[in-house]
Chain A
Amino acid sequence: MSARSTKSSVRPTSRTADHPLGQIAEPSLGPAASLEAAGPSGLGRKWAAVFLTPSAVLIGVFLIFPAAWTLYLGLTNFSLVGFAAAHTTFEGLANYRNAITDPEFGNSLLITLVYVFGSAIVGQVVLGFAMAWKWKDWRSPLRRAVEALAIIAWIVPSSVVAFLWISYLQGNIGPLVEQGTLDFILHISTNWLLQFPLLSLIIFNVWRGSAFSMMLFNGALQSVPPSYLETARISGASEFQQLRDVVLPRIKGHVLTDVLLISLWTFNDFTPYLLTAGGPNGQTETLPVFVYKVAFQQGNLGYASAISLIMLVINSVIAVVYLSLLRSRNT
């Protein structure tokens, strides 16, 4: 007890959050080692382990294990239907060889990359940043109203959102298909999802996800001192120069974090299935839709697992590239 009271008087009252123990284990304190084991709240490693167990089990079983299992399943001909359903055999790298030569997979990969690049890396980042930057000093209920619209677009359940966009983009081509809101406003008859499927999907996803970037950049821009911008403006810097020389260097980390998260989300987004189910003719068949079709419509779980693993690898590469950019910025 005496040791503990010594320690609490040593500890700064407002300690930084991250390393509660780093500050306690002062070399000058004799019983520091035992304190470190017990922790400042008396929660020893044993209790910590007990407290961590439920989460560790759930995360291990339903998150890490499935991801690891794709590695094994991808090497088999595991199947829901047909002969292979009862007789799963180890096929080595056959699924991966198939993937390389499968034009549908190549097509799907390309579509996914275009979708991620167009809707997330360009669309959401640019629109989200434009909203945060242009409205930085706009104090008005109107701003909150427009922002609320963007945020509602972001939190409405994807099933509803998909239906909203299907009805929005309908075109009255023929007697059976009715007109949608967009055609009504523009006085044209275009069935956007049939005639411009991937473009429609990209614009949809910009609508769907820009709120996140907007909120992240709203926060980020607060870290740019207004006086710097004022100085730049008075010395005649154009808006582009202000962005390039004053703003961007300060929010680069936020930009990278934003791009990383929305790239991963968009890459794995299943909403395209709800809008177009991959059609017409596979023109919007992103990788998640492709995996779903191979697995649950064709019943080929082994091949679908191999594609899943390729997706995980691509995602990891994206994450590692961004994180190393982030790190190189810091050093």
Chain B
Amino acid sequence: MPLIRNFAIIAHIDHGKSTLADRLIQHAGLVPDREFRDQLLDTMDIERERGITIKSQTVALPYTAADGQQYTLNLIDTPGHVDFSYEVSRALASCEGVLLLVDASQGVEAQTLANLYAAMEHDLEVVPVINKIDLPAADIEMAREAIDTELGLDGDDALLCSAKMGTGIEEVMAAVVERLPPPVGDADAPLAALIFDANYDVFRGTIVSMRVMQGTVRAGDVIRTMSNNVTYKVEEVGFFRLEREPRKKLSAGEVGYLIAGIKTVSDTRVGDTITLDKAPAESILAGFTMSKPVVFSSIYPVANDEYPSLVDALEKYSLNDASLEYEKDSSVALGQGFRCGFLGLLHLEIVQERLEREFDQSLIMTVPSVEYRIHLNNGTEIAVDNPAYYPDPVAIDKVEEPYIRASILMPERYMGVVMKLCMERRADNTNFTYPSPGRMEFTAEMPLAEVIFDFYDRLKSVTQGYGSFDYDLIGYRTGDVVKVDILVNSEPVDALSLIVHRENARARALQACEGLREEIPRQQFRIAIQGAIGGKIIARKTINAFRKDVTAKCYGGDISRKRKLLEKQKKGKKRMKMVGNVEIPQKAFVAVLKTNNE
């Protein structure tokens, strides 16, 4: 056991976590240089493109230290976004220490801090690493200073490296051995292994990633997951190299995988404890919770006949993403679809992008919503995340909405614009500190609903990319919330209904009406597009009818041409949705929902 180290790399987005991971893998000799591909752990295209890790992966790095001993360094990769903070916390619980990456040109950012706090909660040893020292804009002294003042760590202890150039990698590996403690735990005690991830493999089913805290597990054992008391027979255990490497057993302190005929990843729960059925551990490991979705949206296929294909795609997708919740939903305008719950807005975007790219789906997504708690006059309380189920306003006593504490780190000069943006989003209890000269951390309590609507993009834009953002959910508060319906010739377009703060209702309704007005083609009759709260119209746009739409000549040689034009137009019509007597092209929904989402 002294020859094992379990560690993670934590960093703000884009501070070079994946690149460093790649270098460590390369340095350990797991891949020949010529087969080396950037960001090996980020196996999904979308991860590589966005430079973030969505699904964490783990790899055991062999390392011969200066003392001549052969070590196994288990690098536990963590998802790099606040949406996945629970997964991050479980991964950290599997480690004894972390490398905390700081970009030499950017210093400490919001997530650097958030990640450090998470590591400290787990009593992990933290080794600061200043990365990107090769950049012309690198300022190592500034970075050391920031580590001192903003993180409260010793900046002089920081390692220096350039993951991109491959410099300082050996020092990083040596520090993992020298500065991080080895795991402790009794291999003969009853088994307790922490599940920190699960992936789906078409041939083997669910591959559980786990850290054995105590005891030993072998192929052939009957195990039990303690949260739900389900038993499985272990088919295989082993280490992660770049591929799986079977072993006879995994013992206390080791990190590896387990295959036990678990059909989907939803049958496992990140944070759950695996024990032996016949000799169980006394209690489940601390920190287990079920992750709960906080952002909701309905997804529909662009064409109704693609619904079966969407069903199939969602089933396959969710094999590997246990945090996506979904159930059937239907819309008069858009047909059959699904109501989905996401861990956050990024999670939503990832699901959408992966369904579109990897599963070739064309999707329409409704305006994201949070979950409201609605207290009715009759004393009951209901939770509503879908405008379709919003009760009649007269039956409502009060509505509560989820609040977050937002933390924004930025250069001081952006304070004014950030403050303004947050106040527009109903920020309250604002506070700011100066972690270092010229930098400020702004915190505020805000409705989550205000953040899922284009907040992050606006923040990036007003701070010219220098603002970084993180948040925690802090509970529910009363809010003046209304449901806005969008009507086309008096027929509600259900898919466009939204739940918004009353102050924003008119602006959002107008925006939707205008979007529809631009995208719905003129028809032979006038079309009224309205936004309404209950029976009260709060916004209106009109599409005038055609006044003259006729070609002058239609003789022998013109007929085919005219028919072909009609055939083309009819084809276009087939992709339209009927709301009352009005044909609405798909792109109108997309346009409206896009402006609403962005």
Q: Indicate whether A and B interact.
A: no
